[in-house]
Chain A
Amino acid sequence: MFDGYTSSELMSIFAMQGFAGLSLFSVFVLMALGLTIIFGQMGVINMAHGEFMILGAYTTYLTSGFFQSYLPGLFGGYFFVAMILAFFVCAALGALVEWLMIRHLYHRPLDTLLATWGLSLIMQQAYRSIFGAREVGVDLPEWMLGAFNVTDLVQLPINGLFVMIIALSIAVGLYLLMYRSGYGKKVRAVVQNRPMAEAVGINSAGIDRATFALGCGIAGVAGAAFTMIGSTGPSSGQAYIVDTFLVVVFGGAQSLIGTIVSAFGISQAQSTMEFFLSGSMAKVLTLLVVIGILMLRPEGLMALKVRR
């Protein structure tokens, strides 16, 4: 496995693969955070999560087009505008969906699964009608394209670093929101004991809507970030959803910290194995390990103690 490499090369390999794993980690974190808080808070499995991400990606695509046509001088900074827009567009649609559909289906988790799956099909078809079946690419400003050279072999792509910073900021922001703010306290109260929370005057319906919108908004930001590394097409969201569920379930579906730990574990394992084995083999081995651990800990790595 290690033969054919000198020891200095091996050092570089582990450094490079560690960094590749970190990029993958930030991708996983971005994908999974929105899903985790919606599931953790409301028990709703949002099958349309991938489509919300793609909505964020299309928002970025439109924003970049707008800047290119009307504000070419500011093109270098369009991405920040796009991320904020993506958040609000997705959050607004999320709130609408919660009001129209999800709130009627609480206490029927299997039905929310079906309903959001239907929603994902509708959204996919809408993208196809509006943007066409072809995948679109988003142009990046010059400053995002290069890489920092650490050594001859170890290079850190700027867009990879950028995705990492976004993921980290969102994770920290969410942590502060959930554990250091009044809103977070209410959310946690509702999760632990809904009737009791309502009894002390918390508007649990409002909390639900805000949380669903927040989860969708984060998906939108994730989508915006992914335009830097991948493509955007009507069905691209499907490509992410399986990995996202894997991360969420492995981490313990209701735990923010668990999600992050699980994303880290899976990404590093996969990245290191990918180098020495083939890509498909690494994926299979990762899945096997995850299944093995889930057999020992069915609740996931970091299950929340919930009063039922």
Chain B
Amino acid sequence: MLATSAQAATPSTAEVNTTGLAVTDDTVTVGILHSITGTMAISEIGSVQAEKLAIDQINAAGGVLGRQIDFVQEDGASDWPTFAEKSRKLLRQDNVAAIFGAWTSASRKAVLPVMEQYNGMLYYPTFYEGLEQSPNVVYTGQEATQQILASLNWAAETKGAKSFYLLGSDYIWPRTSNKIARKHIEDKLGLKVSGEEYYPLGHTQFNSVINKIKLRKPDVIFASVVGGSNVAFYKQMKAAGIDFTDEKPLLLTISVTEDEIRGIGGENVDGIYASMKYFQSLDNANNKEFVAAFKEAYGDDMVIGDVTQAAYLGPWLWKAAVEKAGSFDIDKIREEFAGIEFKKAPEGYVRIHENHHLWSKTRIGQAQLNGQYKVVYETEELMEPDPFPEGYQ
């Protein structure tokens, strides 16, 4: 009897799906598109786990519009043309109602035209450089200004920083981020940039830049070094006698999450600061539930970084949007994005801006010996996403 009454509440398929998506009376199919092989697999596997966890939880709570979520998973293989091809397959052949995935900016840029051509909807989970906005993408990570501006203000106001050394890996995200950082430091804060430097991806010799830092004595090293280079960088800093627990110089990173610390080693990053919207150690009820569920699903030794949490938001925001629109149709959902909120977000609370990015808080965490961050600061209000910041380009 219960089943029939539940069915009675479920809207008919003809009503909620007028565009031929993979929706039946009982199920709706979505796509998960990440690299599970190749060089990016290290970073993206956490996102896949988080998205699957969210889907399981949504299903356990009754699904979306009375339908259970099925997913088709494809492997982008760390190769952006493959991402484009697989997204086309997901949209044209599987007719998925949404795609959760992509990680690097290159893979997102490759998927974007496919999304726009076939009117799909991508939930993109990584913090990124901004300078983009598409009607077919929802960005669940932070864009550059959200991640950077609050942390520079914090360093200037709370820590009295006067000079900044900008250091990053040599590709678009660190360069764009540092461009914004430099404008903010010089024009808005009226402080000094004492150096700006980029090293090729995978670079492992940082002695020269460490010497420069010693000589120019910046108050803050603002770092966006990515991947394996991080291990070399922090080990060599420590060997060269730069101790971050002294807070002089202060190191502020936008690229080292709890995931990376596992490879670098807690003793090498002890005392550095990271600016992100999420840390595993966040002290709120939503996050405690999330961390417990994640560890139960994937093991106690798992660590959860900023990007993993942003991936977890995707399916939940999609569910909220579908239910607000009362339909799986992409065009109807798109009308509803502005103002959609997710109160159970592990990071606390998020809301979608009309520019398809999220309002979110920015937090500063200080790395501890055990590889976790301790939150030392968070913005009072949600920060407005601003993917095309005026005066910063």
Contacts and interface: CB of A to CB of B under 8 A. Distances in A.
A160 B211 CA distance: 14
B231 A137 contact: yes
A280 interface: yes
B240 A280 contact: no
Residue of A13, A157, A158, A283 with most partner-chain B CB within 10 A: A157
Interface in B70-107: none
Interface stretch (B3-11, B263-271, B277-285): B263-271
A159 B228 CA distance: 19
Given A278-B198, A280-B170, A135 B263 contact: yes
A90 to B, nearest CB: 20
B241 A231 contact: no
Contact of B239 (A24, A134, A159, A238): A159
B191 interface: no
A112 to B, nearest CB: 26
Contacts of B198: 278-280
Contacts of B214: 16, 153, 155
B205 interface: yes
B134 interface: no
Contacts of A133: 41-42, 45
A114 interface: no
Interface of B: 39, 41-42, 45, 170, 197-200, 202-205, 207-209, 211-212, 214-215, 228, 230-232, 235-236, 238-241, 262-265, 267-268
A210 interface: no
Contact of B208 (A147, A153, A279): A279
A282 to B, nearest CB: 8
Nearest to A144: B239
Nearest to A162: B239
Interface string A47-68: 0000000000000000000000
B153 to A, nearest CB: 28
A239 interface: yes
Contacts of A279: 170, 197-200, 203, 208-209
A271 interface: yes
A157 B240 contact: yes
B240 A155 contact: yes
A230 B235 contact: yes
A-B interface, 5 closest residue pairs, ranked by CB to CB distance from nearest: A231-B231, A20-B207, A157-B239, A274-B208, A135-B263
Contacts of B197: 278-279
A281 to B, nearest CB: 10
A147 B240 contact: yes
A233 interface: yes
Contact of A149 (B39, B199, B241, B262): B241
Contacts of A16: 207, 211, 214
17 contacts: A9-B215, A13-B215, A16-B214, A17-B208, A19-B207, A133-B41, A133-B45, A136-B263, A146-B239, A159-B235, A235-B39, A236-B228, A239-B202, A239-B204, A271-B207, A274-B209, A279-B208
A24 B205 contact: yes
A231 B231 CA distance: 5
Residue of B208, B209, B215, B228 with most partner-chain A CB within 10 A: B208
B238 A145 contact: yes
Contacts, number: 113
A228 interface: yes
Nearest to B216: A4
Given A20-B207, A134-B262, A231-B204, 5 more contacts: A139-B265, A159-B235, A159-B239, A231-B232, A279-B200
A55 B315 CA distance: 40
A228 B204 contact: no
A13 B236 contact: no
Interface in A122-164: 133-137, 139, 145-147, 149, 153, 155, 157-160
Contacts of A231: 204, 228, 230-232, 263-264
Interface in A212-246: 226, 228-231, 233, 235-236, 238-239
Interface string A262-276: 000000000100110
A267 to B, nearest CB: 9
Contacts of A135: 42, 228, 231, 263
Nearest to A140: B235
A137 B263 contact: yes
B42 A134 contact: yes
A27 interface: yes
A283 B200 CA distance: 9
Given A134-B263, A157-B240, A158-B239, A233 B228 contact: yes
Contacts of A271: 207-208
Nearest to B240: A157
Given A17-B211, A157-B239, A280 B200 contact: yes
B235 A229 contact: yes
A23 interface: yes
Contacts of A145: 238-239
Contacts of B239: 145-147, 157-160, 229
A12 interface: yes
A122 to B, nearest CB: 15
Contacts of A283: 200
B170 to A, nearest CB: 6
Contacts of B211: 13, 16-17, 20, 275
Contact of A230 (B212, B215, B228): B228
A137 B264 contact: yes
A228 B265 CA distance: 12
A27 B238 contact: no
A283 B202 CA distance: 14
A226 B204 CA distance: 10
A230 B241 contact: no
A139 B371 CA distance: 14
A226 B207 CA distance: 14
Contacts of B263: 134-137, 231, 233
